[in-house]
Chains A and B, each alone.
Chain A
Amino acid sequence: MLSVEHLKKSYPHSGGSLEVLRDISFTVEAGEFVTIVGPSGAGKTTLLRCLAGLLPRSGGSVTLTTSGRVVDSPPPEIACVFQDYSRSLMPWSKVGRNVEIPLKNKIRERGKRHEQVERALREVDLDGFADSYPWQLSGGMQQRVAIARALAYRPEFLIMDEPFASVDAQTRADLEDLILRVRHDAGLTIVLVTHDIDEAVYLGDRVVVMSGRPTTVVDTVTVDLPRPRSQIATKALPRFAELRTEVLKLITRDGAEVTA
């Protein structure tokens, strides 16, 4: 379980300080899929970088409760998928190598490492592309490479920062279903940040709604939609519409308060 308590983050900014995260608390249970939505500029990326141990906090704590480990630097239990796949993949390395390099310290034996790479690429339907360069693939395929890289790492927690924001709508839907499938197969715990309310409701078990900057948690909405979910059936449910309206209200209500 991942526990975030009173997380704060400020940046030094022209003499004073810029408060980005004011007070963020939520928990992620093992096996849960938590989505985080908020208006643009809400410090979502800052939050994820704090969760992943990439950014030092200004206050509060992020704890992995199973190991009792406080996240101060990137822990081995966490893997990330970033929004900008074109810059998170290494253009000088082939797809297979991109997936393999992070495993160097986890799996010493080369043959086993290659097996794991093969399996991860198969999981995202990219078998046969190990010897291509990332830039020879389409955007959606590149993001699948990034997902395969995270899967091969066998993390407990997968942290995703708007992973489908840079691809077209159809690819986006495919990638959403892909992530639901691999999550089910691998029993992953996922935290995914998005600015897309439909996506947040469609994917999540719970949606954490954030305010604009300085960011706080407005509310958490439990998504009681049946699984497995489907782009057509799930999104046609009246309950889906209710939930997305609920989340939208939370975001806009907060927005109205901020501007008032």
Chain B
Amino acid sequence: MNTGTRAAELPAETMTLEAEARPGTDPTGRDRSSAAARLLPWGTSIALLVVWELLSRAKVFPSEIPPVTEIARALIKLVPTHEFGASLLATIEQFVVGLLVGGVAGIVLGVLLGAVPLLYQLTHYLLDFLRFIPAVVYLPVLILLLGSTPGVGYVLGAAGAIWPMLFQTYYGVTGVSAILRDTGRVFGLRPHQRLLHITLPAVSPFVATGLRIAASHVLVVVTAVQIISSVAGLGSDIAAYASNAVYPQMYALLVVVGALGVLMNFGLERLERRQLHWHTSYREAGR
């Protein structure tokens, strides 16, 4: 089952591949090409923004797409306000709570399903069905039950986090090498010691991948929930600005949400690199 997904979700070896793929016999040539390689994406990004600015100023774009400079001005004006701070905090809070609750639940269930084959056999049709239901479809029911409260964000955020965490953890637990498991048993380690010293570390690269997938899901879900319902957060502000045709402010908040995603990914990558320094993907990078 799911071999395709599984391969795609495995901790990627791309780090080392990229590092090796870099050209470089001649040190100066290598410097030049890597500097160019680093500058190029910035160049294209800036060029695109300039094109956007010009097209918008030339009225080629409709008025719903304001010039970049106007968006930047709106952002600078917006950021110091109290309302923005409150919305940002609400979004981050829903994100963190959702990821934490869903993530922990996913790990616990994943370990259980991996350790007790019967449990997996009994439930895996159900799980395979549930995992593909987008978390936001539960929104109407939750709004009825909880109203437009942060609780809706917590619950749906958790629902977005639980599946990638559960399945990644499960793959990790079932993938622990037989020799390593034999080793733990031969040397008389008790079940909790085997869990602590063998299973959990062996599973951690999978959990790290799960965490990164889960984090992006949660950010999507939390923002979508806020846009659709009126649960407080950056999403509901985006919806409010959009429905009142205050476009520069709306885009400014889009930039903020995007920046949140980038920061989150950057942070998780750093954490992963530090915690998994022993893993084959990070060995070279670590030293």
Q: Which A residues form the contact surface with B (CB < 8 A)?
A: 49, 52, 54, 73-74, 76, 78-80, 82, 84, 87-88, 90-93, 101-102, 104-106, 133, 135, 149, 153
Contact = CB atoms under 8 A, between A and B. Distances in A.
Contact of B187 (A49, A79, A93, A133): A79
Contacts of A133: 278
A102 B183 CA distance: 9
A73 B180 CA distance: 16
Interface in B50-83: none
Contacts, number: 61
B197 A90 contact: yes
A92 B202 CA distance: 8
B179 A91 contact: no
Interface of chain A, main secondary structure: loop
Interface in B126-146: none
B185 A105 contact: no
B189 A80 contact: no
Nearest to A75: B188
Nearest to B276: A92
29 contacts: A49-B182, A52-B186, A54-B186, A74-B185, A74-B188, A76-B188, A79-B187, A82-B182, A84-B179, A87-B177, A87-B180, A88-B179, A88-B180, A88-B183, A91-B278, A92-B204, A92-B278, A93-B201, A101-B187, A101-B197, A102-B189, A104-B189, A104-B193, A105-B188, A105-B189, A105-B190, A105-B193, A133-B278, A135-B283
Interface of chain B, main secondary structure: helix
Given A74-B187, A153-B187, 16 more contacts: A49-B182, A73-B185, A82-B182, A82-B183, A87-B177, A88-B183, A90-B180, A92-B201, A92-B202, A92-B279, A101-B189, A101-B197, A104-B193, A105-B188, A105-B190, A149-B187
A151 B198 CA distance: 20
Interface of B: 177, 179-180, 182-183, 185-190, 193, 197-198, 201-202, 204, 278-279, 283
A80 B283 contact: no
A84 B197 CA distance: 19
A133 to B, nearest CB: 6
A80 B278 contact: no
Contacts of A82: 179, 182-183
Contacts of B183: 80, 82, 88
A84 B204 CA distance: 22
Contacts of A90: 180, 197-198, 201
Contacts of A79: 186-187
Given A84-B179, A104-B193, A91 B186 contact: no
B266 to A, nearest CB: 24
A251 B52 CA distance: 79
Q: Which of A52, A73, A101 has the most CB of B within 10 A?
A: A101
